[in-house]
Amino acid sequence: MSTYKLIEIAETKQRLENEQAILVDTRDAQSYAADHAEGAFNLNNETLKEFFEKVQFNTPVFVVCYHGNSSKGVAQYLADQGYKDTYSVEGGMAMWRELYPMT
Ligand SMILES: O=S(=O)([O-])[S-]
């Protein structure tokens, strides 16, 4: 069984640009609606089924939350479901916003 890995924001962005990968945003729907990184999938109980239908197990999955803590649990959960290449994004959207201000 695979376990999640940690990844920095700059590398996450780079890999999202260059690979068939997906960014999963686990923040609440309101925070997600207020701002999110381009292409991010808002994962919650309502969207989980859609996620499993859409995203194949060999797709790299980058999980981002508020500060980079709870994303670890979600990344491990997705690894446990069969996703082979899962990551928790260090610093979360709080740091992402600092590094790459959103308009
Ligand atoms: O636990 S968290 O604040 O990183 S979502």
Ligand 1 atom nearest residue 27's Cα? 5
Q: Tell if the pTM clears 0.80, that is, is over it.
A: yes
Which token pair is 8? 């920095």
Catalytic residue among 65, 78, 79, 89: 65
Q: Is 25 a catalytic residue?
A: no
Integer Cα distance of 89 and 46 in angstroms: 22
ipTM metric = 0.84
Write out pLDDT tens, residues 34-93: 999 999 999 999 999 999 999 999 999 999 999 999 999 999 999 999 999 999 999 999
Ligand 1 atom nearest residue 69's Cα? 4
Distance 84 CA to ligand 1 centre (A): 23
Distances in whole angstroms, Cα of residue 6 to Cα of each of 44, 45, 47, 53: 21, 24, 24, 25
